[in-house]
Chains A and B, each alone.
Chain A
Amino acid sequence: KAGVTQTPRYLIKTRGQQVTLSCSPISGHRSVSWYQQTPGQGLQFLFEYFSETQRNKGNFPGRFSGRQFSNSRSEMNVSTLELGDSALYLCASSPEAADNEQFFGPGTRLTVL
């Protein structure tokens, strides 16, 4: 079974631009969660999608948004990029919502210049 895939793996943007990251969960998994990882703040939960609905949300500004499609693939979007948005963005999938076992993708490293 293929693992969680994230595209692109690396991205460079400038301040003020917007970016869309993509995550394809493991086949059959219906829940997708997004995390931001930075050296200073560590891993922080962004949001969780289940059956095309946002089920849970972390403490991030409205510039961070996401969606999930009927095939469970998910995208997250960050608008009006700031330097502090530079991070590794990790996606994790699990069969059901709030499942114990999350499977992580390799991440997308976003650099904002």
Chain B
Amino acid sequence: GEDVEQSLFLSVREGDSSVINCTYTDSSSTYLYWYKQEPGAGLQLLTYIFSNMDMKQDQRLTVLLNKKDKHLSLRIADTQTGDSAIYFCAESTRDDKIIFGKGTRLHILP
């Protein structure tokens, strides 16, 4: 079945770049997403990429997609304390469901 895997934790120093990685299994996924969840809040869509794209950039965020390896990454440039959150990778499936990874907790070191 469909599955999305990502590492559970990442620690990064303030000002450095954060790279959060994700792998997925459904090669027919049309869209891949990155969501952010802050403590006590719901999920916020950060960005999404269409499966025929390799890269998408939006201010400090860069999404890279390697469709051959089914690998997606989110790079956050100049990481700030406000970026501390759980980041979820998600894919849309052929039957229009969205499958989420278990989330990567990003911890910012001073």
Contact A98 B45 (CB under 8 A): no
Q: Tell me which residues across on chain A come within 8 A of B41, comparing CB atoms.
A: 106
Contact B43 A42 (CB under 8 A): no
Distance of B36 from chain A, by nearest CB (Å): 10
Q: Tell me which residues across on chain B come within 8 A of A107, comparing CB atoms.
A: 42
The answer to whether the Cβ of A105 comes within 8 Å of any Cβ in the partner chain is yes
Distance of A5 from chain B, by nearest CB (Å): 10
**Quick one: which of A21-72 are within 8 Å of B by CB?**
33, 35, 42-45, 48, 55-56, 58
Contact B100 A56 (CB under 8 A): no
Q: Tell me which residues across on chain A come within 8 A of B43, comparing CB atoms.
A: 43, 90, 92, 104
Contact B31 A100 (CB under 8 A): yes
> How many of B's residues come within 8 Å of A, CB to CB?
20
Chain A, residue nearest B102 (CB): A42
Contact B42 A102 (CB under 8 A): no
Distance of B56 from chain A, by nearest CB (Å): 13
Chain B, residue nearest A59 (CB): B1
Q: Tell me which residues across on chain B come within 8 A of A105, comparing CB atoms.
A: 42
The answer to whether the Cβ of B58 comes within 8 Å of any Cβ in the partner chain is no
Distance of A17 from chain B, by nearest CB (Å): 25
A107 to B98, CA, bound (A): 18
Contact B98 A102 (CB under 8 A): yes
* Chain B 78-110 interface mask (CB, 8 Å, partner A; 1/0): 000000000010001001111111110000000
Distance of B35 from chain A, by nearest CB (Å): 8
Residue in B96, B101, B102, B103 whose beta carbon sits within 8 Å of that of A98 in the complex = B96
Distance of A99 from chain B, by nearest CB (Å): 10
Chain A, residue nearest B100 (CB): A43
By a beta-carbon cutoff of 8 Å, the part of chain A in contact with chain B is 4, 33, 35, 42-45, 48, 55-56, 58, 90, 92, 97-98, 100-107
